[in-house]
């Protein structure tokens, strides 16, 4: 069968959860036996989110092939258990960059290069790319931003043209809107939805299905009104009520028959009802924990939890696997000092030091690590967290005064963390780090080997600085051992502390590979260590 295309747009306001709705619909279609992928088109002019401040846009999610992408791709992978790639995230910046490069090379034969047709043709080409691989029955395309924004107009225009090109029943548009509840009037208001659909219709795209976000159930008469004013069938007005957890959304959408509406619209063969047994088991364990732990997350972007989205979700997956409720306690690393570290962290069952860039909050992270190392509290360090663990050990155990990362102190006498040689020549910021999946070999007999249960693993990276192997013999002699090594470069990937109940730090980002069906072993065992520590306190 020819690939079918679903477009998900949003109106009224951003952050309504287009990514979760797209991932939930994909999950339902996948559970019916269709092969599905999701792509995100973002209307900003950055080439990718790699250079964006996490406060602006949440975390930057890295794919297997090393693309720095939007955090929604993390949701796609966690729900579908299928890796995404460079092709799954496209920005306006990348579209324009491609078209302008083509123009400079003379590809348009002297024609005037315009938004229509040149920009929209390039958007359409990219919207169809994944469908042309022959791997997918259905491609879901999420259009970022809000209908009515200037920057999303070329994307909406591309959707209008594509629907015409593809023909009837080959595509479907789902529009996500807000139905707010006005306390003073005591009722749900449909006007924002009407305006949003009108904006979309004015751009030439009529939605087939409306998914209405609301804090309260939407009664039949309100649905009827929305259907009447927005030119959709009443059974295509879908309620999306605030859920206890994002992992409830596929089941809520199933109840609302979103997948059935899509199947009818696209004239898809009616395969078996979705098999969601393992999903329900996961939710059952998540909602009925037998134990509870408090885990500290020490980072510098803690005011915006979305900056650590994948880590939070990894704890959800690992918590369910251990039938344990994981309470994440947020600690701004800038506020941690020698004086207050004990009062802040001594009641914690485990401590994670988060990834990040730059000097801000670096000292606080070192203090937190010193405390957990000395007090034998389970510890997991990720990326910069691993580098901090190395610096702390060098300073306080090896007594190397002034030991640091050259990222924080270029003049340090002991660069235990240093920039890779091939990075020193790079001046551009975007996409120039060590990115994507790399192999790592784990030493037999180590804690890391026991955690993974195998010696060869592949994990995703996003960093410029590495452990300086010149210091490795001194570290190992003092009890901090490199138990994960990249076989091609000899670079240190995992360090762990002997004579400590659970102290593991990784240069890579394990959180990027944790999914509902495959919770990441590092997080699963870290939560287990926290449960054990809680029992002995």
In order along its 537 residues, the chain shows pLDDT tens digits of 799 999 999 988 877 889 999 999 999 999 999 999 999 998 888 887 766 666 666 788 888 888 888 888 899 999 999 999 888 999 899 999 999 999 998 888 888 999 999 999 999 999 999 999 999 999 999 999 899 899 999 999 999 999 999 988 999 999 999 999 998 888 899 999 999 999 999 999 999 999 999 999 999 999 999 999 999 999 999 999 989 999 999 999 999 999 999 999 999 987 788 899 999 999 999 999 999 999 999 998 888 888 899 999 999 999 999 999 999 999 999 999 999 999 999 999 999 999 988 778 889 999 999 999 999 999 999 999 999 999 999 999 999 999 999 888 889 999 999 886 655 555 554 445 678 899 999 999 999 999 999 999 999 998 888 999 999 999 999 999 999 999 988 999 999 999 999 999 999 999 999 999 999 999 999 999 999 999 887
Q: Is 20 annotated as a binding residue?
A: yes
Q: In the numeric block, which tokens belong to residue 417?
A: 């963390």
Same domain, 247 and 341: no
Catalytic residue among 230, 511, 520, 533: 511
What is the torsional sign of CA 365, 368, 373, 379?
negative
Last residue of a domain, one of 251, 280, 309: 280
Same domain, 213 and 310: no
Q: Which of 398, 322, 407 is nearest to 359 (CA)?
A: 407
| Helix residue ranges, H only, 325-361 | 341-345
Distance CA 344, CA 323 (A): 26
41: Cβ–Cβ under 8 A, 6 or more apart, which residues? Answer: 90, 91, 123, 126, 127, 141, 142, 143, 144, 155
Q: Which of 310, 370, 307, 296 is nearest to 526 (CA)?
A: 296
Distance CA 291, CA 321 (A): 12
Q: Is 206 annotated as a binding residue?
A: no
Q: Is 18 annotated as a binding residue?
A: yes
Residue 424's pLDDT is 58
Distance CA 247, CA 437 (A): 26
State the CATH number of the domain containing residue 327: 3.40.50.880
Catalytic residue among 383, 440, 493, 520: 383
State the CATH number of the domain containing residue 207: 3.40.50.300
Q: Is 194 annotated as a binding residue?
A: yes
pTM of the predicted model, to two decimals?
A: 0.92
Q: Is 424 annotated as a binding residue?
A: no
Same domain, 181 and 328: no
Q: In the numeric block, which tokens belong to residue 83?
A: 């890796």
Could you tell me which residues are beta bridge partners of residue 306?
Answer: none
Nearest-5° Cα angle at 26, 318 to 66: 65
Active site annotation includes 509: yes
Q: Which of 11, 479, 20 is nearest to 241 (CA)?
A: 20
Residue 430's pLDDT is 47
Torsions phi, psi for 291 (to 5 deg): -145, 175
Catalytic residue among 414, 500, 509, 533: 509
Q: Is 387 annotated as a binding residue?
A: yes
Could you tell me which residues are beta bridge partners of residue 417?
Answer: 405, 467
The number of folded domains in the chain is: 2
β-strand pairing of 138-143 with 171-178: unpaired
Same domain, 52 and 88: yes
Q: Is 58 annotated as a binding residue?
A: no
Residue 360's pLDDT is 82
Could you tell me if 41 and 155 are in contact, meaning their C-beta atoms sit under 8 angstroms apart?
Answer: yes
Q: Is 464 annotated as a binding residue?
A: yes
Outline where DSSP puts E strands in 344-433: 350-353, 379-382, 404-405, 415-419
Residue 435's pLDDT is 82
Same domain, 97 and 204: yes
Same domain, 197 and 297: no
Q: Is 40 annotated as a binding residue?
A: no
Residue 176's pLDDT is 97
Active site annotation includes 511: yes
Full domain range(s) for residue 445 = 289-536
């Amino acid at each position: 069968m020819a690939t079918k295309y679903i477009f998900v747009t949003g109106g009224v306001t951003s952050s309504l959860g287009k990514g979760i709705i797209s991932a939930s619909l994909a999950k339902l279609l996948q559970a019916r036996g269709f092969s599905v992928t999701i792509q995100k088109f973002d209307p900003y002019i950055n080439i990718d989110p790699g250079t964006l401040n996490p406060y602006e846009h949440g975390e930057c999610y890295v794919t297997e092939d090393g693309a720095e992408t939007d955090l929604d791709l993390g949701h796609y992978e966690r729900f579908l258990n299928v890796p995404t790639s460079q092709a799954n995230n496209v920005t306006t910046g990348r579209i324009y960059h491609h078209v302008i490069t083509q123009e400079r090379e003379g590809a348009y034969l002297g024609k005037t290069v315009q938004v229509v047709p040149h920009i929209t043709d390039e958007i359409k080409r990219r919207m169809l790319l994944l469908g042309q691989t022959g791997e997918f029955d259905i491609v879901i395309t999420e259009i970022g931003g809000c209908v009515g924004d200037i920057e999303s107009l070329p994307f909406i225009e591309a959707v209008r043209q594509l629907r015409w090109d593809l023909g009837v029943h080959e595509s479907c548009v789902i529009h996500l809107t807000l139905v707010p509840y006005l306390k003073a009037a005591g009722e749900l208001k449909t006007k924002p939805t009407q305006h949003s659909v009108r904006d979309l219709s004015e751009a030439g795209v009529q939605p087939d299905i409306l998914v209405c976000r609301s804090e309260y159930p939407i009664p039949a008469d309100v649905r009827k009104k929305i259907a009447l004013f927005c030119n959709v069938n009443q059974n295509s007005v879908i309620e999306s009520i605030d859920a206890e957890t994002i992992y409830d959304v596929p089941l809520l959408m199933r109840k609302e028959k979103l997948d059935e509406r899509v199947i009818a619209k696209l004239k898809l063969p009616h395969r078996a009802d979705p098999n969601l047994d393992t999903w329900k088991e996961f939710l059952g364990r998540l909602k009925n924990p037998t134990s509870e732990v408090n885990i500290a997350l020490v980072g510098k972007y803690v005011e915006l939890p979305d900056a650590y989205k994948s880590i939070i979700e990894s704890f959800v997956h690992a918590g369910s696997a251990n039938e344990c409720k994981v309470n994440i306690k947020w600690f701004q690393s800038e506020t941690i000092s020698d004086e207050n570290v004990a009062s802040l962290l001594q009641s914690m069952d485990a401590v994670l030091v988060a990834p990040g860039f730059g000097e801000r909050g670096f000292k606080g992270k070192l203090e937190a690590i010193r405390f957990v190392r000395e007090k034998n509290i389970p510890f997991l360090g990720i990326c910069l967290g691993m580098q901090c663990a190395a610096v702390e050990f060098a300073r306080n155990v090896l007594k190397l005064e002034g030991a640091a990362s050259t990222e924080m102190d270029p003049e340090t006498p002991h660069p235990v963390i240093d920039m890779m040689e091939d990075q020193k020549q790079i001046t551009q910021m975007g996409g120039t780090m060590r990115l994507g999946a790399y192999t790592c070999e784990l030493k037999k007999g180590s804690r890391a080997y026991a955690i993974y249960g195998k010696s060869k693993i592949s994990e995703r990276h996003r960093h410029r600085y590495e452990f300086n192997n010149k210091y490795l013999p001194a570290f190992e002699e003092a009890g901090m051992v490199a138990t994960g090594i990249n076989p091609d470069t000899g670079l240190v990937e995992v360090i762990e502390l002997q004579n400590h109940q659970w102290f593991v730090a990784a240069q890579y980002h394990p959180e990027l590979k944790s999914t509902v069906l495959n919770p990441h072993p590092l997080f699963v065992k870290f939560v287990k260590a926290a449960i054990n520590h809680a029992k002995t306190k």
